[in-house]
């Protein structure tokens, strides 16, 4: 089952499954645990999952958790749609 996360205008993220706010780190932990996620903008209903996953990737780099160069290269070569699958694969390989 896909975990639905809503992003509100104040940029807070809300996990509708647990009825609690969640951080990007919390979303990362869900993905690492094998959960599928979907992030939507609460006002527009727009799917912003890719944007959120990109932010998680950036935050990981800033925190010193190196993302393999081969993974980043693969993402650019295959396009943005590969991001979710690549992040899941990376989390499973870690």
pLDDT digits (tens, 9 = 90+) for 41-70: 999 999 999 889 888 888 877 777 777 777
Percent of the chain at pLDDT exceeding 90: 47
Residue 9: domain span: 2-93
Q: Which pairing describes strands 2-7 and 36-41: parallel, antiparallel, or unpaired?
A: parallel
Range 69-76, long-range pairs (CB < 8 A, 24+ positions):
none
**Cβ-proximal residues to 61 (8 Å cutoff; 6+ apart), any chain:** 67
Tally the domains of the chain: 1
Q: Specify the pLDDT at position 81.
A: 60
């Amino acid at each position: 089952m896909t975990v639905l996360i809503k992003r509100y205008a104040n940029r807070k993220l809300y996990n509708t499954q647990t009825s609690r706010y969640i951080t990007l780190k919390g979303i990362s932990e869900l993905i690492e645990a094998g959960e599928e996620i979907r992030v939507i903008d609460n006002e527009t209903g727009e799917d912003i999952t890719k944007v959120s996953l990109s932010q998680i990737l950036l935050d990981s780099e800033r925190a010193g958790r190196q993302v393999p160069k081969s993974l980043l290269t693969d993402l650019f070569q295959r396009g943005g749609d590969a991001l979710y699958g690549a992040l899941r694969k990376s989390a499973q390989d870690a």
